[in-house]
Amino acid sequence: MMNTPLAERIRPKSLDDYISQQHLVGKNGALTQHIKNGIIPSLILWGPPGIGKTTLANIIATTSQRPFYSLSAINSGVKDVRDIIDKAKQSGGLFTTKNPILFIDEIHRFSKSQQDSLLGAVEKGWVTLIGATTENPSFEVIPALLSRCQVYILNAFDKVDLVALIDRALHTDIILKDKKITLKETEALIQLSGGDARRLLNIFELIVGNNDAIEITNALVLQSVQQNPARYDKTGEQHYDIISAFIKSIRGSDPNAAVYWLARMIEGGEDVKFIARRLLILASEDIGNANPTALILANNTFQAVSIIGNPESRIILSQCATYLASSPKSNASYKAIGDAQELVRKTGDLSVPLPLRNAPTKLMKDLNYGKDYKYAHSYESNFAEQEFLPNDIANTKLYDPGNNARENQLRVYLKSLWRKKYNY
């Protein structure tokens, strides 16, 4: 028991002990009735690490009194899947009986062939699949398997949940409840946890250590974590910190730092598609029209690493990361869509101007739909000045090109078209 981590010692055994996710397992939660009735569909639990996906799968199996089989996608292959399915077929039955639950942690790391090997068993009811993933299942789970599963989103723990978790540990854990622990401040604990319950409990256990009496303060937490950075990083909790450093290094035009943080992720076993997806977002958000080729390269990188896999993907990722870091930067497009969405929220559903409306029927034409629309290609330079925004927000400028060579060219071009209208 002394060697068992705190997170494991206080792992909930029932829904009554399960903290958070009330939208799923509360009194009127989407999963509550399924679990109580024992009628469990195959499902995917999607959410950040340390929020109870594995725990929930165990509770579902225990409450519904079903055999439970577990695999980790990190170290399991097609043969492992088939072996488990064979065992499940022998211990379970059809949809109408309590067929076994097959839990697959990090299912997004399964290849297409591995996911294909699950299809028959799920479809025939030999097993009820519960997959856990930190990545969007729309991207990572094959359509045939995804269509046979319900997707449930688990949210990161908020402050109230995390404080409740610490309180439970203090009062119920077989080791901590006999210690004299004063919880004076919790801000640093909450901040460092990042909404990850496992990380929170690992940090808390690290700080308490072998002390029989201790007062927890923000200063003590920060000092302890800085002095022992590796002891609470057993399960890759720096995942979000390092990807943040990677993105910020590229945004800051530092290819040396970018490739260093890339190496940290690769050496740590990070999913190469996760890295490539973040590069794809960055190419548009932080570079945009300052260098449109960046988005093309990032998209090709995502496609390439999806096909190549490890270890060669590191070369492709390095090329993309250093190129993006070395590119001119602009967030003008990112800012434009943010401002446009805010404008929509403020102004609501404004009417489309009549000249811009589609007129497929005679009635619509009689109502002047499409009347006075100027077809740009019928005019010199393929441009005709007209108002394309709703009347209430006419002349509103949302896109302001960045100050870089490529977008300065766009600025000159737009100014030549619109003259003083948008003040380009």
Residue 241 lies in a domain: no
Going by pLDDT thresholds of 50, 70 and 90, the confidence category of residue 226 is: low
Do residues 145 and 170 both lie within one domain?
Answer: no
Q: Are 66 and 39 in contact (CB under 8 A)?
A: no
Do residues 124 and 196 both lie within one domain?
Answer: no
Half-sphere exposure of 155 (CA within 13 A, CB side): 12
Q: Are 157 and 48 in contact (CB under 8 A)?
A: no
Do residues 34 and 149 both lie within one domain?
Answer: yes
Residue 320 lies in a domain: yes
Q: What is the pLDDT of residues 376-413, one digit of tens each?
A: 999 999 999 999 999 999 999 999 999 999 999 999 99
Structural domain containing residue 261? 249-325
pLDDT higher than 90, residue 35: no
Report the 10 Å Cβ neighbour count for 349.
Answer: 7
Going by pLDDT thresholds of 50, 70 and 90, the confidence category of residue 374 is: very high
Question: For position 281, what pLDDT does the model report?
Answer: 95
pTM here is 0.58
Residue 312 lies in a domain: yes
Do residues 258 and 313 both lie within one domain?
Answer: yes
Number of structural domains (the chain) is 4
Query: How deeply is 140 buried, as exposed, middle or buried, from its count of CB atoms within 10 A (0-12, 13-18, 19+)?
Result: buried
Do residues 293 and 364 both lie within one domain?
Answer: no
Query: What does the CA dihedral 299, 304, 305, 308 come to, rounded to 10 degrees?
Result: 170
Residue 264 lies in a domain: yes
DSSP 24-54: HHSTT-TTHHHHHHT----EEEE--TTSSHH
Do residues 253 and 295 both lie within one domain?
Answer: yes
Residue 160: its H or E element:
helix 159-172
Task: Please state, for a pLDDT cut of 90, what percent of the chain lies above it.
Answer: 41
First CA to last CA distance, the chain: 69
Residue 262 lies in a domain: yes
Do residues 117 and 64 both lie within one domain?
Answer: yes
Whichever domain contains 72, its CATH number is: 3.40.50.300
Do residues 146 and 179 both lie within one domain?
Answer: no
Averaged pLDDT score across all residues of the chain: 87
Q: Which long-range contacts (CB under 8 A, 24 or more apart) does 321-324 make?
A: 321/246, 321/250, 321/255, 321/258, 321/259, 321/262, 321/279, 322/255, 322/258, 322/259, 323/294, 323/297, 324/250, 324/258, 324/279, 324/282, 324/283, 324/286, 324/287, 324/294, 324/297, 324/298
